């Protein structure tokens, strides 16, 4: 990929028992490990500034996850396992580095990986930080705080949700703003709150176009459905892996022990993870942007934020603890848009164990 890292962050190629990939490290070699997991259509590059700003005594570790960046192209995500391929990759990396326990932070897709970790390996997690994570019920095709499916086959979730023009422009490495569907335009309008433009926007866009594109990567495959919007999740790639059909049941997470403290940070103006998310079929149908919408009763927008809060309330009732921090004038990546505010909450969380 060839992206130059900022001072305080170095890149190395690491091969574990699971996958060979690029891993970013912050400079302090003997600090307590903090694993950073990036979101969909991005890479570890998106976490660099946060890693470099870690308090004394902590060391950041951020891999390009399977299907993204400089990860091994032959290794695909089996979507039918939900987040499990990405969880097992992350644990193999930490095993390879000799870290039994670690702090973990994830954004968007990375946050969904962490939900799975809370159910499978909570004893390894010192603290958990999720920044604008996807819902623990998955992305799309659920109607309420309990994650009730909108249709039996979860129509409207998975790889078929992806904008084909954005996918085409990712594939050809478009770095321009000539189209509202270019990666750079998507970053400026959907991922951050305008008019904010990140200082290292060029590097972030390079990371976006390093996404592996194809029927087994992003967007992945999809299948026809008799239910609106007439496509259901396929079986390959990260986008299909986010479908509610394949997520770990929240009861499994709630029944797991121990329960590490959770910090949930979200941008107040996030358009990607919202109760009216910009790519959610229910919301697009309500706005008249997706033809044939069967109406509010049949297919409401997914209440993603309400789902996360309801889940974390149940996590608290089951013996856990969480704190919600809402950052004003920030979108989907508050750690880039409002780093001082994000780090204030994040660092206090890391130190309070």
- Alpha carbon distance 77, 246 (integer Å): 12
Measured from the Cβ of residue 214, the count of other Cβ atoms closer than 10 Å reads 16
Q: Indicate whether 52 belongs to any domain.
A: yes
165-182 pLDDT, tens digit each: 999 999 999 999 999 999
Residue 121 has pLDDT above 70, yes or no: yes
205-221 pLDDT, tens digit each: 999 999 999 999 999 99
**Residue 138's CATH number:** 3.40.50.1820
Q: Indicate whether 203 belongs to any domain.
A: no
Mean pLDDT of 169-196: 98
Residues near 243 by beta carbon (within 8 Å), at least 6 away in sequence: 79, 138, 139, 140, 141, 154, 157, 158, 233
Measured from the Cβ of residue 151, the count of other Cβ atoms closer than 10 Å reads 19
Closest CA to 52 of 200, 185, 209: 200
Contact 23, 62 (CB under 8 A): yes
Residue 96 has pLDDT above 80, yes or no: yes
Q: Indicate whether 214 belongs to any domain.
A: no
Residue 114 has pLDDT above 80, yes or no: yes
Q: Indicate whether 275 belongs to any domain.
A: yes
Residue 28 has pLDDT above 90, yes or no: no
Q: Indicate whether 262 belongs to any domain.
A: yes
- Alpha carbon distance 243, 55 (integer Å): 36
Residues of the chain with pLDDT > 90: what percent?
97
| Burial zone of 27 (CB within 10 Å; 0-12 exposed, 13-18 middle, 19+ buried) | middle
Q: Indicate whether 175 belongs to any domain.
A: no
Residue 117 has pLDDT above 70, yes or no: yes
Inter-axis angle of helices 109-120 and 84-97, nearest 10: 70
Contact 207, 1 (CB under 8 A): yes
Reported residue count of the chain is 353
Structural domains of the chain, count: 1
Q: Indicate whether 237 belongs to any domain.
A: no
The per-residue pLDDT of the chain, averaged, comes to: 97
Q: How confident is the model at residue 97 (pLDDT cuts 50, 70, 90)?
A: very high
Residue 161 is predicted with a pLDDT of 84
Structure token pair of residue 184: 């750079």
Residue 332 has pLDDT above 70, yes or no: yes
Residue 4 is predicted with a pLDDT of 96
Q: How confident is the model at residue 353 (pLDDT cuts 50, 70, 90)?
A: low
Residue 1 has pLDDT above 70, yes or no: no
Domain boundaries, position 76: 9-151+247-351
Q: Indicate whether 212 belongs to any domain.
A: no
Residue 287 is predicted with a pLDDT of 97
Q: How confident is the model at residue 27 (pLDDT cuts 50, 70, 90)?
A: confident
Residue 232 is predicted with a pLDDT of 98
């Amino acid at each position: 990929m060839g992206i130059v890292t900022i001072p305080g962050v170095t890149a190395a190629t690491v091969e574990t028992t699971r996958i060979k990939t690029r891993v970013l490290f912050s400079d302090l070699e003997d600090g307590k490990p903090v694993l950073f997991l990036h979101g969909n259509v991005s890479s570890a590059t998106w976490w660099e500034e946060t890693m470099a700003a870690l308090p004394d005594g902590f060391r950041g570790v951020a891999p390009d996850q399977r299907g993204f960046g400089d990860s091994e192209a032959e290794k695909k995500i089996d979507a039918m396992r939900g987040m499990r391929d990405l969880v097992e990759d992350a644990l193999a990396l930490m095993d390879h580095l000799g870290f039994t326990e670690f702090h973990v932070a994830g954004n968007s897709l990375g946050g969904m990986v962490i939900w799975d970790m809370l159910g499978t390996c909570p004893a390894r997690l010192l603290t958990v930080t999720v920044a604008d994570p996807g819902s623990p019920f998955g992305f799309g095709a659920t109607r309420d705080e309990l994650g009730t499916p909108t249709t039996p086959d979860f129509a409207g979730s998975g790889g078929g949700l992806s904008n084909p023009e954005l996918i085409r422009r990712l594939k050809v490495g478009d770095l321009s703003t000539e189209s509202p569907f270019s990666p750079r335009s998507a970053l400026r309008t959907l991922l951050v709150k305008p008019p904010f433009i990140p200082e290292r926007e060029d590097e972030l866009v390079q990371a976006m176009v390093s996404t592996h594109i194809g029927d087994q990567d992003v967007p992945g495959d999809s299948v026809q459905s008799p239910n609106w919007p007439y496509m259901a999740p396929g079986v390959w790639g990260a986008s299909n892996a986010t479908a509610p059909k394949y997520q770990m049941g929240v009861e499994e997470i709630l029944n797991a022990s121990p329960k590490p403290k959770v910090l949930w940070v979200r941008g107040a103006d996030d358009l990607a993870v919202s109760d009216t998310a910009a790519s959610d079929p229910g919301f697009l149908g309500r706005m008249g942007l997706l033809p044939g919408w069967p109406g509010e009763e049949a297919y409401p927008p997914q209440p993603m934020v309400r789902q996360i809060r309801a889940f974390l309330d149940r996590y608290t009732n089951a013996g856990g603890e969480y704190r919600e921090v809402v950052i004003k004038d920030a979108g989907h990546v508050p750690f880039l848009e409002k780093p001082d505010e994000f780090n204030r909450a994040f660092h206090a969380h890391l130190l309070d164990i």
